[in-house]
Structure formats: C-alpha cells, structure tokens
Amino acid sequence: MNTIVGIYTAHPYISTLVSYWVLSAFIGALPAPTTASNGLYKFLFGFANSLGGNLLRALSTRVEGSPNFQDAVNIQNAKTGTGKVVVEMPAEAKQ
C-alpha cells in the first residue's frame, strides 16, 4: 500500500488525471432522474454533473433527450383531448 501512495504522491499530474477520470466515470454512470425521482436526487444529479464538467448533461432541458419523453408525449396528448396514447410504456419502465 505504501508503494501505491508513494507513486501517487510522486506524480501529482498523473494522479490528478487518474482521479478526475475515476470521478468522471462515477458521475457519468449515474442514471438520469425520472419523474419518479425525488427532488434531492435531481439536485445531486445536476450538482454532480456540473461539478464533473458534464454541463450539457446537468443543464439539459431537451424533452427528447430525457428519460421522461414518453410520459411527456402521453401527457400532452391527454391535455389536447385526443385520448390516443402514442407511446406505450412497458410496466417495468414505469417503476
């Protein structure tokens, strides 16, 4: 273990790059919040992605790129009174 710590402290530039790469991979693996997600997770998701430099993912407001696109289409159709569900949601996706 002392060897790893020694290498880590002896090469601060490479250590910084490796640490950032691991952190970025961790943040990138977070699933996007859905309509069922609570407010705390939505905040932490946005904060972690903005901290990790994934600004497009953190601030994205595109409906098409979100996991809530199918729900949004169905809600808009219900508001217009068409009653036609364009996108069928599988039961496991609604959870």
Asked if pLDDT for residue 69 goes beyond 80, the answer is no
Query: What pLDDT was estimated at residue 87?
Result: 58
In this prediction, residue 94 has a pLDDT band, given cuts at 50, 70 and 90, of: low
**Residue 62 is which amino acid?**
R
Asked if pLDDT for residue 90 goes beyond 70, the answer is no
Query: What pLDDT was estimated at residue 13?
Result: 92
Please give the Cα distance from 41 to 17 (Å, whole number): 27
Helix (H) or strand (E) holding 76: helix 69-80
Phi-psi region of 53 (alpha: psi -120 to 50; beta: other; left: phi over 0): left
At residue 39's C-alpha, the angle toward residues 62 and 64, to 5°, is: 15
Asked if pLDDT for residue 23 goes beyond 80, the answer is yes
Please give the Cα distance from 48 to 30 (Å, whole number): 9
Asked if pLDDT for residue 76 goes beyond 60, the answer is yes
Mean predicted lDDT score pLDDT of the chain: 76
